[in-house]
Amino acid sequence: MISKDPVSGRELYTPRMATVKRIERLGEKEKVFEIGFDGGGALGQKPGQFVELSVFGVGEAPISISSSPSRSNGSFELAVREVGNVTAALHHMEPGAKVGIRGPFGNGFPVGDMVGQDLLFVAGGIGLFPLRSLINEVLDNRDGFGRVIILCGSKRPAERMFTAELEQWRQRDDVEFLETVDKGGESWDGNVGVITTLMPKVSIEPARTYCIVVGPPVMYKFVILEAKKKGLPNDRIVVSLERRMKCGVGKCGHCQINGVYVCQDGPVFRYSDTLHLQEAL
């Protein structure tokens, strides 16, 4: 008997055939892949969810969805850094190549709770990949939210991702956008320093603000400390722990932390729900 997702009714273990429609280079080791299912059909994702991508003959890997549901158009985008066998094989593909997709899986960002609220996005490095999905979902429904503040950090100017979109966000009158790099250069005239150097530049109303944080593990502790200094309660700080995932359906145990399966109970959590997860942050 084939196990199925109780919500969508889709098979959990059998990939759906899909085609790589477009590939765009983002950085030295990063590309974005537009993917559509063979025979049509939407992915039906929520911001913050992920898929399991199969490169046939090589393996499978969990990858966060970078495009927002509001911009699906029958396809979706995966922004991928080349870090292993599966992602290396994906990076060597050309448009028209076939892949397998399982999912979407996991709990996404609590968008419904954020309606009418101020939002402070904090994206470090390729943490922008999954956060981009939520940011664009919010911007496409801009009237439904309060202030939108976006803080982006990269190691170097050359490692900035989705630069055209960053500039669009910077130019919007209804977005407050701040950016920094750890190490600048002669061509960089913006802020230099880790992303927490941007936090004091922003004033918020903690009772009506959600802070959504996605980035490298070392970043979380310090960003959360800055958020707490601003008076944000633990349940208004939202984080993603997707780095721990593997199978996507809670069977391999790779992502289990103190009885919590990140791939099923997350990857998105309120910080208040991670306090008992000793290894989480």
Other Cβ atoms within 10 Å of 114 Cβ, number:
21
What's the pLDDT at 11? 67
CATH of range 111-273; options 3.40.50.11540, 3.40.50.300, 2.170.190.11, 3.40.50.80: 3.40.50.80
Residues of the chain with CATH 2.40.30.10: 16-105
- Name the token pair of 271: 């910080």
Task: Give the model's pLDDT for residue 1.
Answer: 37
Beta bridge partners of 178: 151
The HSE-up count of residue 141 (CA atoms within 13 Å, CB side) is 17
* pLDDT in the model for residue 13: 78
Find out whether 48 and 104 touch, Cβ atoms under 8 Å.
no
Fold exhibited by the domain 16-105: Elongation Factor Tu (Ef-tu); domain 3 (2.40.30)
Q: What is the pLDDT of residue 214?
A: 96
**SS3 at position 100:** strand
Residues 128 and 170: their CA atoms lie apart, in Å, by 15
pLDDT of residue 267: 83
Pairing label, strands 30-37, 118-124: unpaired
Which three-class secondary structure state does DSSP give residue 161?
A: coil
Would you state the pLDDT for residue 52? 94
Q: What are phi and psi of 115, to 5 degrees?
A: -60, 130
Backbone angles phi, psi at 163, to 5 degrees: -60, -35
pLDDT in tens, 96-111: 999 999 999 999 999 9
Instruction: Note the pLDDT tens digit of each residue in 16-75.
Output: 999 999 999 999 999 999 999 998 888 999 999 999 999 999 999 999 999 999 988 889
Number of CB atoms found within 10 A of residue 9's CB? 7
pLDDT in single tens digits along all 281 residues of the chain:
346 555 555 667 789 999 999 999 999 999 999 999 998 888 999 999 999 999 999 999 999 999 999 988 889 999 999 999 999 999 999 999 999 999 999 999 999 999 999 999 999 999 999 999 999 999 999 999 999 999 999 999 999 999 999 999 999 999 999 999 999 877 888 899 999 999 999 999 999 999 999 999 889 999 999 999 999 999 999 998 865 555 555 555 566 666 666 666 668 989 998 887 655 55
Residues of the chain with CATH 3.40.50.80: 111-273
